[in-house]
Amino acid sequence: MLSAGMKAPDFTLLDQAGNRVSLSSFLGRKVVLYFYPRDNTPGCTRQACAFAGSYEAFKTLGVAVIGVSKDSVASHAKFAAKHDLPFILLADTELEAIRAYDVWQEKKLYGKVSMGVVRTTYVIDENGVIEKVMPKVKPDTNAAEILAYLAGE
């Protein structure tokens, strides 16, 4: 797992509209980079909707919100449209950023072991340095916890 104080690995991926988005293009502003397992699953939907509900607060703080999963551009487009998600969703079908941020890990579900994305959120500062790492976050409280952190609470 990456840790606070490390340079955030740069990447370029396609967003839900098919546009190329590079993390380095956000230098000069904070970024909340959250990795989630899959579009349209219950936990991931609750997490995305919580970020959407808090989006104006993030915008007011000048903070970009970016969600990343291994889903396709088409899947992200449907997910964003269905839940009216106002932030960037990046398609990492080749696991480029997912592996760089060390969130592709062994998971156990009902005794079955498989590889998958472990729900993790990074706060990256204006200089592209990891400011905070939140591993194994809860989908329902992740957005609120980050806003509280950014507000210094």
Phi–psi pair at 134, nearest 5 degrees: -125, 95
44 is catalytic: yes
Indicate which residue of 8, 13, 33, 44 is catalytic: 44
DSSP one-letter code for 17? T
Q: How many angstroms separate the CA atoms of 20 and 70, rounded? A: 15
Pinpoint the alpha helices (H) of the chain. Answer: 42-53, 55-60, 73-83, 96-100, 142-150
Question: By the 8 A CB rule, do 133 and 118 touch?
Answer: no
Enumerate the active-site residues.
44
